[in-house]
Structure 1
């Protein structure tokens, strides 16, 4: 039986000084609960977990410099609101902002990360396939969120201009690419014609949670929105290749109901390198 995520040791708890920067409604909800840092993920957002009664919650915050990006907590909250009732996502409990940034509280989902099954050597391809089926099967006619290639490339330019991009990267894997500006030029020159669907934007085994009945919950939805269908596929392929095997990753691509487009998969891996 799956359970809520285990509590993080209190030694990593949020400091009183940091707590004081939270919007009043957020502080009121947390009250005297201990905020413990959640270490999963590489986002610049701060994530904490805490308990109230017998329930567990997560607090996520982002600073003002990330407001125009997909790291914005308000943007993720909009995605959660739009997706609620369409697919399984965390319940948005509270959302607020002030001069220090944006903050939201979500209720913990009754499931465990898909990564747990990978670490246990269990098959996961069918769960990735089901996740894609659910995402790409959503009607997008009224979707307010755009996360396409041009949008994400503009975001990358902003992050680079502010020095907020990933500082550990491997650009030499692509011929003629040796700097951030080289990569930007390559991405501009290879922007794909998009086959738009609803995409998660960062689909991987730490952002998919699964319960004991194989029901899937989608987390970390800041990059979600209208995008090319190969964005999510590229992330799943990389996840399977790196954490399961090359063979399983290739079998996943062959199982898709449409022909592979390697150039698009490579584009989205290039685009992600500095995030």
Structure 2
């Protein structure tokens, strides 16, 4: 990764770089310098995340943007583990924290959000991933194993629902993307896919992550509290969408 002179000054000459950290995916590097910890991302997703973090600031707790020099994004360390790493033994407690966090995000006025995460945008991206051979069917959830990426995409096109219940959706809302500092106020991370979308796009991933635990799901819904009815077909549809992203 090539850094501009400005970013080299920000990170310091004694910077120690590591890809060995919680949630390491190859797109974020942990940098320690001068007693501080930073996370550095680069590429198109980093640019997309920078725009969304700037917009989210003051609306939802997110990491501080230390610097951005396209396409490199430097974030301050929040100093907290994710809910995935520090998940409570009781899935119900995990569901409640996820519910409170998602409630705050989904309560953000849609009219204020400049980012589009609706199906035309998402399905275009999914189709490009399929055509580019970027989808590994071996990584599909157990109930989708045996399907090809092409078959999944055909199902998504054939069953495409209306989008009547729009919110500001995270797009990848999982325990790994929620940090819980000692203050107890969750911090949302990894937001390059954030945009206006049907709320079931996020609900579907929470439902999957709670692994069929009905009590935990009910605690999530009680904490979330913004929806009177959850559409089971939409939960399944948006889980299929996630397989291709």
TM-score (ref. length: structure 1):
0.78
Unmatched tracts of structure 1, length 5 or more: 1-18
Match of 2:109 among 139, 154, 158: 139
Separation in 1 of the partners of 2:60 and 2:102?
11
Separation in 2 of the partners of 1:46 and 1:198?
24
Matched, 1:207 2:189: no
RCO higher in structure (CA 8 A, sep ≥6) = 2
Matched, 1:58 2:34: no
Separation in 1 of the partners of 2:156 and 2:86?
34
Matched, 1:248 2:215: yes
Deviates more, 1:46-55 or 1:224-233: 46-55
Separation in 2 of the partners of 1:169 and 1:116?
21
Deviates more, 1:25-34 or 1:75-84: 25-34
Separation in 1 of the partners of 2:24 and 2:235?
22
Q: Which residue of 1 aligns with 2:18?
A: 36
Written as runs of structure 1 = structure 2, the 5 A alignment for 1:33-182 is 33-41=15-23, 43=25, 46-62=27-43, 67=44, 72-97=45-70, 102-118=71-87, 120-121=89-90, 123-170=93-140, 173=143, 178-182=147-151
Aligned residues of 2:64 and 2:75 also touching (Cα < 8 A): yes
Aligned residues of 2:48 and 2:192 also touching (Cα < 8 A): yes
Aligned residues of 2:130 and 2:150 also touching (Cα < 8 A): no
Separation in 2 of the partners of 1:56 and 1:224?
25
Separation in 1 of the partners of 2:36 and 2:24?
25
Unmatched tracts of structure 2, length 5 or more: none
Distance verdict in 2 for CA 1:59–1:42, change over 3 Å: closer
Aligned residues of 2:99 and 2:221 also touching (Cα < 8 A): no
TM-score (ref. length: structure 2):
0.87
How many pairs are equivalent? 239
